[in-house]
Structure 1
């Protein structure tokens, strides 16, 4: 019997969709039945007719979920909104297990197998399945665009008959996927760009994009590299040295983009109120970690606040502001994941231990992920 894949319309405020007509067609080619909820693609400018042309059926939520073996989502669906789904169905989405533990427990109680795509291990064969990378790339780009729209001056240097306009100075804190794209985007807009990270290995990456690396020197033995390529928390000695370095540099900056996140933990504080007070009025900060508590003191998720004359944009769901492109990439991540494990004999995906155990939150009515059991 063919596997049924359900594609849900996201809750209000989320414009992305977890499958596009492109991936729906690919799932159908694997032998799956694809059911899409009415209006699921509206926020990403995808009409229902495009899904139907790709071989999917389109209907209300109940018909979409009835008999579904796999439920795709961008954000984890409310358990109450998927009650008609059968026990044992997979939920494949970004599930925020540490922030939304009650929802994870509800999935377990209902018998769903919840697979948190943001926990995908950063190994070579899983790169094409990594939703954090695909969405962070867009977020880094959009963060600079947001900053440019709020900044009351031009980014590039301009030489005119009336005089010269100096180039904006942009500082990127955290050089992961989002940070690297932010550097590249700010450079394309003509800013003078500098960047910093706790991982010394990123210095060459910063330089390769034409930006100036700002790093703590003379603090030995601190590389900042955690498992899977993520940054780790630094020692008190390093944090003090970094704070001193940043304080002197940030006072000269017009634009700051902060991107530092540690999975499953509150975002590290990178900029204090005292440091904000040294920046010139009209400067702009975009905090991409605002939803995780913020890298900037005073940042509020989803809001723009002004402190000491500095605008702080508490960015939330930044990739979702580029819904069409973000959906295309996100949906390919999900397709790459499921198709990689597709078993031709049973005509359904069968996960291996390495990836399955890394992302599986619930199974057989229980919460099973080690990080949720401690």
Structure 2
């Protein structure tokens, strides 16, 4: 199988879909790899390192003759037009953001997989790109917050007096939220967290943080089978809002991470709550790409309201390009056996496998993912 690794073209995207380590593994499995010139430069991987690992380097990554094309982000129209019919394509496709790209992939008869649709089952953990990238996003969110915050995070006792520890509140305890809690704790902050899913309470406590939520009967049933938060009743939301409003006013840093694929981000911090924080406080919004958890946040802009700094990041993993690329490349490597015929090494997805079924968006000229096909057909 011929594998093409393309150079990212999205503004601010520094990651790359393969590293010399994964290229070396691809080659050892009997595949040929072509990498686009300069694809890894922003992730501190020069072209020569790919050549040393056994890859060819060309201007376009060998896209026209590739059986499988990999990227971090969605393809451009030109890239779709260059791929041969029947080729496979895998990336973080953001399928709910621009369905025209999915239509174009189907029209070009490309078998496209969305890495963010990899099912969250134990067998697919090594392929879960959403988790690998969210983990780094949670870490980086705290580092960015510490840089914006005009005070120290840990408590410091000096001859001149005591510096109080920063109070950090993490809203949304998924992969990013848990890593944010752990990182803020390592930096010496007093950390609290909230989530409507009851299972997260124990996870928060295990990291040494305080759990903040109205724990009534509705709260105990507030998680879907897929592990996402259920919409809560107006009554519960009112009780939770009162508790959170009181808590936010006492915090120095708030990090919001609540995001559900295909939906607008829920508002977790209202304008009034944000302005209730003392001047110099910081809000970091990780959900700004889908509307934001705070209505004051703007994509990749620093906003100040009443002395409070509000920063919305659309792509935090790209601020850690070497590590983010290494983890994403390993996600793709773990997926490869399900895309390859064991004997011939040809591109041959295991169509009946639940992982491939969950991630495949287009096949043989049609949109096949159930969450997209009905709307596309209409």
TM-score normalised over the length of structure 2: 0.95
Deviations 1:112-148 (A, max 9, x none): 1110010111111000000010000000000000000
The equivalent residue for 1:354 is: 354
1:249 to 219, 238, 247: 247
Secondary structure of the 1:108 match is helix
Instruction: Give how far 1:297 is off.
Output: 1.4
Instruction: Give how far 1:230 is off.
Output: 2.1
Q: Is 361-370 or 201-210 further displaced after alignment?
A: 361-370
C-alpha distance in 2, partners of 1:139/1:311? 19
**Structure 1 residues 221 and 137 mapped into 2: Cα distance closer, same or farther (>3 Å)?**
closer
Instruction: Give how far 1:100 is off.
Output: 1.1
C-alpha distance in 2, partners of 1:109/1:313? 39
RMSD: 1.3
Q: Is 219-228 or 330-339 further displaced after alignment?
A: 219-228
Instruction: Give how far 1:231 is off.
Output: 2.1
- Conserved in 2, the CA contact under 8 Å of 1:155 and 1:189? yes
Instruction: Give how far 1:66 is off.
Output: 2.1
- Conserved in 1, the CA contact under 8 Å of 2:80 and 2:108? no
Secondary structure of the 1:327 match is helix
The equivalent residue for 1:104 is: 102
C-alpha distance in 2, partners of 1:236/1:24? 52
Q: Is 92-101 or 347-356 further displaced after alignment?
A: 347-356
Instruction: Give how far 1:219 is off.
Output: 4.3
Deviations 1:163-198 (A, max 9, x none): 111000000001111001000100011100000111
- Conserved in 2, the CA contact under 8 Å of 1:133 and 1:177? yes
C-alpha distance in 2, partners of 1:337/1:163? 55
Q: Is 220-229 or 72-81 further displaced after alignment?
A: 220-229
Q: Is 346-355 or 4-13 further displaced after alignment?
A: 346-355
The equivalent residue for 1:176 is: 174
The equivalent residue for 2:26 is: 27
The equivalent residue for 1:373 is: 373
- Conserved in 1, the CA contact under 8 Å of 2:63 and 2:79? no
**What does residue range 1-374 of structure 1 map to in structure 2 within 5 Å?**
3-11=1-9, 12-61=11-60, 64-220=62-218, 222-348=220-346, 349-351=348-350, 352-374=352-374
**Structure 1 residues 166 and 306 mapped into 2: Cα distance closer, same or farther (>3 Å)?**
same
- Conserved in 2, the CA contact under 8 Å of 1:305 and 1:311? yes
C-alpha distance in 1, partners of 2:260/2:222? 12
Q: Is 232-241 or 327-336 further displaced after alignment?
A: 232-241
**Structure 1 residues 341 and 70 mapped into 2: Cα distance closer, same or farther (>3 Å)?**
closer
Moved over 4 A (4+): none
Secondary structure of the 1:35 match is strand
Instruction: Give how far 1:289 is off.
Output: 0.4
Instruction: Give how far 1:222 is off.
Output: 4.2
Work out the number of aligned pairs and report it: 371
**Structure 1 residues 59 and 116 mapped into 2: Cα distance closer, same or farther (>3 Å)?**
same
C-alpha distance in 2, partners of 1:14/1:110? 25
Instruction: Give how far 1:369 is off.
Output: 1.1
TM-score normalised over the length of structure 1: 0.96
- Conserved in 2, the CA contact under 8 Å of 1:79 and 1:107? no
Q: Is 3-12 or 227-236 further displaced after alignment?
A: 227-236
**Unaligned 5+ residue runs, structure 2?**
none
